[in-house]
Amino acid sequence: MVSHTLKERMRDLIDQILYHDDLYYHQQRPVISDAAYDNLFNELKALESTHPEFIQSDSPTQRVSGRADENFKKITHKVPLLSLDSYYNAADIAQFHNRIVKDLDKSSVEYVCEFKFDGVSVSLIYENGRLVRAGTRGDGYIGEDITENIKTIKNLPHKLTGAQVPRELHLRGEVLFLIKDFININKQLILENKEAFVNPRNAASGSLRQLDTTVTARRPLHCFCYTIMYHSDDFACATQSEAIKKLAAMGLPTGDFHPVCQTTEELFAFHKKYQQERDTLPFEIDGLVIKLNSLEDQRALGTKARSPRFACALKFESRKETTTVEDIALQVGRTGAITPVAILKPVNIGGVTVSRATLHNFDFVDQLGITLADHVQVARAGDVIPAIISVDTSKRVASQKKITPPDKCPVCQSKVIKDKSHYYCTGTHTCPAQIKWSIVHFASKRALNINGLGEETVDLLLERGLIKNTADLYDLTASDLLSLDGFKLKKSQNLLNALGDSKSRPIEKQLFALGIREVGEQTAKIIMAHFGSFNTLEKTSVEELQTIDGIGPETAESVFSFFSHPENKKIVKKLKDHGMFEQVFASKVKGSNLEGLVFVLTGELKSFSRSALKEKLEALGAKVTNTVSKKTAYVVVGSNPGSKFDKAKSLGIKILNEDDVVKLME
Ligand code: IVH
């Protein structure tokens, strides 16, 4: 693969992973399975290990996914809340074990095997035995302060008991719904005509991240504690199993499954047992967590950027059932991509009725070799979105109809063209489906975040002929809105205010909102970081776009052709007349002496998390990367720095400590 396509693939993987992270962590509506997510992640990791020169500073492999919601107060974790590497089979776990004994230079070690609770990871801080603060994981360094919501959880003590309570105790645990409670909550939501949760994990996440604590208090959440992250020096612990016992003695809920295992065979036997018996437990688990028992050995092995070397997740295979394909629906999205969706005979998989499964594109349909009325195996991998994983051809009868791509758009009848693995409707500015979804995207949380302008309102506005495109939104008046079903004075005024506010969203969000094919959130940021202003971007050439690090030929072509199209020109001009696209990219603010300088951060910092410092530096125009090279201007070093520190010294690169970098930023 030539380097630009390789680089582009890496960029594409990063964008996809970040997109799925957002759906999973912030919107509680994941659309791919854990296994599909792990595939994207592992492909990126593999490419980065063979081509470290292309590692991008925002790569999710370099940090824990997620970020803190702006609506919550922030909490900085004393010890980062890392992720776990995921493994699925005996060979993986043998490799994990062999590396550990080799690195520790021991012939045998002990592990604790725990449930991998499928809930929401939280940090809990007890001071003098009192629960004083709690946070979500966020990006691993900074999370959301959810203290008041956590305090509503009935099985979590506000005050610790027993003889051995440390002055300060920082824990990590998982908040979840028992399956019976989840079923009841969904019944209640349906009765109230509200949207039910997809699974218990999403229900827990949605319930915990409520700004109104009284809502959380009405939800019967549970918590299990599984790791001591930090304790004051009036407490001691030598092993993970001792830690768990001491937590239980303080009255903390830990669950009752923590066997100590001496061999990988024992670990794997538990994996097999619970893969089969997971449905008999009162809560969801999506695998087991394997932890080295000795805390001294844990410290000796240390951590990587996003996960520890001393623990891993041994995940379960997804749940599967068989059913039949009753029909194929064709969905036309914002970019015109036509997605085939299998309409299935409803089937119950692990407590959830499944009646649809995406087939992604027609190449996937071909690969599966699926036809109408086929018997198929459906998995709810990660117990999220169902996917067809195989077709049982032995049950097929000769008359079954093949699934063929459409030659016309099912919505607007425009011609359809094929580009890579997707078929696209060519009626970009006339196709009602493309128009609708592009307006929904424009207003979405990740784009302009126009509160009150969801799919339903967009449908109403289009049906009434009040808008034809995104720019028309800014012509809407109070009387237009008041004429819509369900719109009273307050709701109309709120929407007009939200439309007004949307014009001052960061310039990269405004670019992302245009919905240009190939331009995801990160790509939009890269483009605006290069051009600074929208006026410069509009006048660019394909050649200039291609010179940007992280932008490949296809993206360059797509951006260029977007701005060349007369209809888009008209819409962009109208948006500008309404006051959009006036901002300058934040780091292009004049006067920054860090503009364009490349920084690498290593070690633990005292007053910032690394991700917070990275954000600050980037806001001042600096670039933060993960590999030290001759291009690096400064390496910022905290305590316990990694090999980057040695490399910086050997290349003679200027080293800064935390105080130096603060001064430099001032
Ligand atoms: S230990 C450094 N133990 O699994 C140790 N995690 O990415 C990190 N999880 O979201 C975690 N059950 O919230 C640990 N018994 C357990 C767990 C557990 C569930 C979650 C954790 C994290 C994910 C792994």
Question: pLDDT tens, 472-523?
Answer: 999 999 999 999 998 999 999 999 999 999 998 999 999 999 999 889 888 8
Torsion angle (degrees, nearest 10) of CA 463, 465, 470, 471:
-170
Report pLDDT digits (tens) over 358-406. 898 999 999 889 999 999 999 875 556 688 989 999 998 888 888 999 9
pLDDT band at 27 (very low <50, low <70, confident <90, very high): low
Between 442 and 67, the higher pLDDT residue? 442
In a domain, 186, yes or no: yes
Is the domain of 29 the same as that of 121?
no
- Establish if 194 belongs to a structural domain: yes
CATH number at residue 19: 1.10.287.610
> 340-351, pLDDT tens digit by residue?
999 999 998 876
pLDDT for residue 28: 61
Query: What is the rounded average pLDDT of the residues 306-317?
Result: 93
Same domain, 305 and 386: no
Q: What amino acid positions are annotated as catalytic residues? A: 116
The whole-number pLDDT of residue 620 equals 77
Burial 586-601 (b: 16+ CB within 10 A, else e): bbbeeebebeebbbbb
Structure tokens at 118: 């499928």
Nearest CA residue ID for atom 7, ligand 1: 83
Tell me the pLDDT band of 68, cut-offs 50, 70 and 90: low
How far, in Å, is the centroid of ligand 1 from the Cα of 309? 13
- What would the pLDDT profile of 137-156 be if each residue is shown by its tens digit? 988 888 999 999 999 999 99
Helices (H) and strands (E) in the chain, counts: 24, 22
Collapsed DSSP state (helix, strand, coil) of residue 46: helix
Q: Strands across the sheet with 285-292, in order?
A: 86-87, 311-315, 285-292, 111-117, 260-261
pLDDT for 588 equals 55
Ligand 1 surroundings by CB, under 6 angstroms: 82-84, 114-117, 121, 174, 226-227, 289, 308, 311, 313
Answer yes or no: do 605 and 580 share one domain. Answer: no
Whether 351 and 341 have beta carbons less than 8 Å apart is answered as no
498 part of a folded domain: yes
Beta strands in 128-245 (DSSP E): 130-136, 142-144, 168-176, 222-231
pLDDT on residue 507: 94
- Cα separation, 45 vs 10, in Å, equals 9
Average pLDDT over residues 533-543: 92
Report the pLDDT value the prediction gives residue 1, as an integer from 0 to 100: 44
Q: How far apart are CA 557 and CA 364, in angstroms?
A: 26
CA distance 656 to 88: 41
pLDDT score for 262: 96
| Average pLDDT value over all residues in the chain | 89
Residue entry with tokens 């010890």: 79
Q: From CA 637, how far away is CA 617, in angstroms rounded? A: 15
For the residues 174-199, what does the mean pLDDT come to?
86
Q: Is residue 67 a part of any domain in this protein? A: no
Give the pLDDT score at 622: 83
Radius of gyration of the chain (CA): 26
Do 384 and 483 belong together in one domain?
no
Q: Are residues 593 and 659 in the same domain?
A: yes
CA 316 / ligand 1 centre spacing (Å): 15
**pLDDT exceeds 80 at position 135:** yes
Q: Are residues 158 and 141 in the same domain?
A: yes
Q: To test ligand 1's pocket by mutation, which of 121, 224, 297, 307 has the most ligand atoms within 8 angstroms of CB?
A: 121
With a cut of 80, say whether residue 2 has pLDDT above it.
no
Identity at 45, one-letter amino acid code: K
Atom of ligand 1 nearest to the CA of 121: 13
Q: Which domain holds residue 49?
A: 2-62
Question: In the structure, what pLDDT confidence band is assigned to residue 16 with cuts at 50, 70 and 90?
Answer: confident
User: Would you mind telling me the total number of residues written for the chain in this entry?
Assistant: 666
Binning pLDDT at 50, 70 and 90, where does residue 65 land? low
| pLDDT of res. 6 | 79
pLDDT confidence of residue 640? 81
Please check whether residues 490 and 537 belong to one and the same domain.
yes
Q: How far does residue 82's CA lie from ligand 1's centre (Å)?
A: 8
Tokens 């009848």 -> residue: 413
Decide which of 295, 315, 335 is a domain's last residue.
Answer: 315
Q: Over 90: is that where the pLDDT of 605 sits?
A: no
Counting ligand 1 atoms within 8 A of each CB, the residue from 116, 208, 285 with the most, and so the one to mutate, is 116
Arithmetic mean of pLDDT, 209-238:
93
Q: How many domains does the chain have?
A: 5
Please tell me what DSSP assigns to residue 398. T
Residue 591 is predicted with a pLDDT of 54
On the question of pLDDT at 603 being above 60, the answer is: yes
CATH number at residue 345: 2.40.50.140
The two tokens of residue 407 are 């030659």
| For ligand 1, mutation pick of 117, 120, 124, 299 (most atoms within 8 Å of CB) | 117
**Does residue 181 belong to any structural domain of this protein?**
yes
546 is a domain residue = yes
- Contact between 178 and 220 under an 8 Å Cβ cutoff? The reply is yes
Question: Of the candidates 315, 334, 369, which is a domain's last residue?
Answer: 315
| CATH code (residue 147) | 3.30.470.30
Separation of alpha carbons 444 and 513, rounded Å: 8
Task: Provide mean pLDDT across the span 25-30.
Answer: 66
Task: Tell whether 277 and 350 lie within a shared domain.
Answer: no
Ligand 1 atom nearest to 303, measured from its CA: 2
Lowest mean pLDDT among 8-12, 428-432, 536-540, 592-596: 592-596
The C-alpha atoms of residue 461 and residue 453 are separated, in whole angstroms, by 10
Assign 63 a pLDDT band (cuts: 50, 70, 90): low
Report the half-sphere exposure of 238 (CA within 13 A, side-chain side). Answer: 1
**Domain with 594 in it: what CATH number?**
3.40.50.10190
Same domain, 396 and 514: no
Please enumerate in sequence order all residues whose Cβ is within 8 A of that of 437, keeping only pairs 6 or more positions apart, or say none. 332, 333, 334
Q: Tokens representing 551?
A: 């932008």
Domain with 448 in it: what CATH number?
1.10.150.20
* CA dist., res. 476 & res. 460, Å (int): 13
Question: Which pLDDT score, from 0 to 100, does residue 69 have?
Answer: 60
Count the alpha carbons within 13 Å of 144 in the hemisphere toward its beta carbon: 21
Based on the fold, state whether residues 468 and 594 are members of the same structural domain.
no
Q: Quick check: 57 pLDDT over 70?
A: no
pLDDT band with cut points at 50, 70 and 90 for residue 213: confident
Domain boundary among 535, 565, 586: 586
- Please tell me the predicted confidence (pLDDT) of residue 120: 95
Phi-psi region of 579 (alpha: psi -120 to 50; beta: other; left: phi over 0): left
**Closest C-alpha among 474, 418, 417, 416 to residue 443:** 474
Q: Which atom of ligand 1 is nearest to the CA of 308?
A: 2
Residues 125, 169: contact at Cβ < 8 Å?
Answer: yes
Buried/exposed code over 450-484 (b: 16+ C-beta within 10 A; e: otherwise): bebbeeebbebbbeeebbebbbbbbebeeebbeeb
Angle between helices 3-21 and 521-531 (to 10 degrees): 120
Give the distance (Å) from ligand 1 centre to CA of residue 313.
Answer: 8
- Among 27-31, 107-111, 195-199, 360-364, name the one with the lowest average pLDDT: 27-31
- Does residue 502 lie within any of the structural domains? yes
Q: In this structure, are 55 and 136 located in the same domain?
A: no
The mean per-residue pLDDT over the stretch 31-42 comes to 79
Long-range contacts at 555-559 (CB < 8 A, ≥ 24 apart):
555/8, 555/518, 555/519, 555/523, 558/516, 558/517, 558/518, 558/519, 559/516, 559/518, 559/519, 559/527
Distance, CA of 549 to CA of 56 (rounded, Å)? 10
Q: Is residue 69 part of a domain?
A: no
Q: Does residue 66 surpass a pLDDT of 50?
A: yes
Q: Do 248 and 357 belong to one domain? A: no
The pTM is what?
0.62
**Would you state the pLDDT for residue 58?**
73
Q: Which atom of ligand 1 lies at the shortest distance from residue 227's CA?
A: 1
Rounded distance from Cα 190 to ligand 1 centre (Å): 31
